């Protein structure tokens, strides 16, 4: 996928005396240091001249230095202006957009430029988890390793040290947003943070990172993310030194599979999910929604206590196949009158045996006492499918006697009272909760339905919104 504020004096980065590459591997002669106008590929005017020269086969009109810059950074010719941060006058740059909008490529190209030609020697790479950093930011198709045009000059990653080493001796250190304290001590010139709006401990990680951005003359951080209206992310966007750019999936259609954007619009167009995940809009709680993000965030915990009881609730779809509703699968437990939502294993398009196996697996992982399954659509067949999947805990079938909103209203009250807590981030469940009940809500609230069954079972009268199916 396609894609600092104080003194402006940069120190050159010394070349390693010992290379991890063979003696025959050529070393890159990147010019250092650069500052201000020297960040040439970040200048819109230069990119436009380079594109025009390339389009008209007149690259000779560029200087030798400019031609070299283009050859070492071919992304100059294809990057959209919105993907490239301005060269000067900022400390934090947030590039927010829908899925497939070119966010990862933008972050990787900026970080690569900073390390190889921007005079930066130490960088921080931070993602939701260590796995995400390696699989997306480093090894992904738009990651730092694969955007290097010359294979012999690709950076090398040491998993044991969590360091990505560049050809000129510069290093990028890997961190997880799950561990703010790991950022205590290290210091950096620049940082690239991915999916920052989904960080569980966003404020703590961000604050610790800021205190480490103290090398070089002009330390900066670029954040790439799909937007979510978390308190931390909204505060970041409101910062006086933050530059913000927004992009949608459609703007990057040339780099996606043919027909993909059209297919997504056909399936989700007009929905709140599409506005956030496709168009990159940050949605606040819509009018009429039964649940609010503020009350979910207020009760969030990182780890649950020792639980007194754990269950898995299942809301099976009426049909199966690619266009079927998702099967809602929620694991939750209780301690001292507080319910803890442990996991959201919901998934769309599953066949009956597939969702049953999924429910059985999660029940074993969380140590569930029983599985509660709505039987409005399948009756006793729901139990039979779970038995075929090897269920090893009791299955309790329930049948709704109230409408979805009526069943959910008492659960929303429990959230307002602080008696329901989410363990970590459950973004798809939470997005559906905060759309449920609002005007224009489309689709089946499958995840919410399963959640409601779970909370009723743990905290409310078991004879409440259901009758037992024998």
pLDDT at 23: 37
Q: How far apart are CA 171 and CA 174, in angstroms?
A: 10
Q: Does domain 293-468 have CATH number 3.40.50.1000?
A: no
For Cα atoms 397, 381, 357, give the angle at the middle one, nearest 5 degrees: 85
DSSP category for residue 442: -
pLDDT at 29: 41
Residues 217, 240: Cα–Cα separation, whole Å: 20
Q: Cα angle at 268 between 291 and 270, to 5 degrees?
A: 75
Q: Which CATH number fits domain 36-255: 3.60.15.10, 3.40.50.300, 3.40.50.2300, 3.40.50.2000?
A: 3.40.50.300
Tokens representing 105 are 């490529």
When pLDDT is cut at 50, 70 and 90, the band that residue 16 belongs to is very low
- pLDDT value at position 396? 93
Calculate helix-pair angle for 404-416, 446-459, nearest 10 degrees: 60
Mean pLDDT, rounded, of the chain: 83
Torsion of CA 380, 382, 387, 389, to 10 degrees: 160
Instruction: Give the pLDDT mean for 55-63.
Output: 82
**Confidence (pLDDT) at 256:** 84
- The domain spans of the chain are 36-255, 293-468
Q: How does residue 18 score in pLDDT terms, banded at 50, 70 and 90?
A: very low
Q: What does the pLDDT read at residue 467?
A: 41
Look at strands 122-127 and 190-194 and give their pairing: parallel
pLDDT > 70 fraction of the chain, expressed in percent and rounded: 84
Label residue 19 by pLDDT band (50, 70, 90).
very low
| pLDDT, position 72 | 80
Instruction: Determine the average pLDDT of the residues in 159-168.
Output: 93
pLDDT exceeds 70 at position 464: no
Give the pLDDT mean for 280-302. Answer: 81
- Residue 174, pLDDT > 90, answer yes
**Torsion sign over Cα 288, 292, 295, 300:** positive
Ramachandran category for residue 89: left, alpha or beta (phi over 0 → left; psi -120 to 50 → alpha): left
pLDDT digits (tens, 9 = 90+) for 122-141: 999 999 999 999 999 999 99
């Amino acid at each position: 996928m396609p894609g600092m504020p104080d003194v402006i004096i940069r120190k050159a980065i010394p070349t390693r005396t010992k290379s991890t590459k063979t003696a025959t591997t050529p070393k890159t002669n990147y010019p250092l240091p650069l500052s201000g106008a020297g960040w040439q590929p970040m200048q819109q005017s230069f990119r436009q001249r380079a594109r025009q020269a390339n389009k008209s086969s007149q690259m000779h009109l560029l200087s030798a230095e400019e031609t070299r810059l283009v050859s070492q950074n071919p992304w100059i010719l294809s990057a959209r202006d919105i993907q490239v941060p301005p060269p000067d006058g900022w400390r934090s740059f947030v590039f927010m957009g829908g899925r497939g909008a070119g966010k990862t490529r933008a972050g990787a190209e900026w970080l690569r430029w900073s390390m190889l030609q921007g005079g930066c020697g130490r960088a921080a790479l931070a993602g939701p988890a260590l796995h995400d950093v390696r699989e997306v930011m480093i090894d992904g198709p738009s990651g730092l390793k694969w955007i290097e045009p010359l294979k012999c000059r690709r950076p090398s990653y040491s998993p044991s040290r969590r360091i990505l080493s560049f050809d000129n001796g510069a290093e990028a250190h890997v961190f997880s947003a799950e561990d703010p304290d790991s950022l205590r001590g290290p210091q950096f010139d620049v940082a690239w943070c991915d999916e920052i709006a989904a960080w569980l401990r966003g404020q703590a990680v961000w604050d610790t990172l800021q205190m480490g951005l103290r090398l070089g003359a002009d330390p900066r951080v670029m954040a790439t993310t799909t937007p979510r209206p978390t308190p931390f992310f909204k505060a970041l966007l409101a910062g006086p030194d933050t530059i913000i750019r927004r992009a949608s999936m459609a703007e990057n259609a040339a780099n996606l599979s043919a027909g993909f954007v059209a297919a997504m619009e056909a399936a989700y167009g007009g929905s709140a999910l599409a506005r956030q995940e496709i168009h990159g809009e940050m949605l606040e709680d819509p009018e009429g929604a039964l649940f609010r993000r503020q009350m979910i965030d207020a009760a969030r915990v990182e780890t649950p206590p020792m639980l007194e009881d754990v269950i898995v609730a299942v809301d099976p779809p009426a049909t199966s196949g690619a266009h079927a509703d998702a099967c809602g699968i929620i694991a939750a437990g209780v301690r001292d009158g507080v319910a803890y939502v442990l996991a959201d294993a919901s998934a769309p398009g599953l066949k009956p045996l597939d969702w049953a196996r999924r429910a059985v697996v999660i029940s074993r992982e969380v140590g569930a006492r029983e599985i509660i399954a709505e039987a409005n659509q399948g009756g006793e067949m729901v139990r039979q499918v779970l038995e075929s999947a090897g269920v090893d805990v009791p299955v309790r079938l329930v049948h709704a006697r109230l409408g979805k909103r009526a069943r959910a209203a008492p659960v929303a009250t429990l959230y307002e009272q602080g008696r329901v807590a989410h363990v970590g981030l459950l973004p798809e469940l939470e997005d559906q909760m905060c759309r449920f009940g609002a005007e224009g809500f489309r689709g089946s609230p499958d995840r919410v339905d399963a959640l409601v069954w779970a909370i009723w079972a743990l905290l409310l009268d078991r004879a409440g919104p259901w009758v037992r199916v024998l």
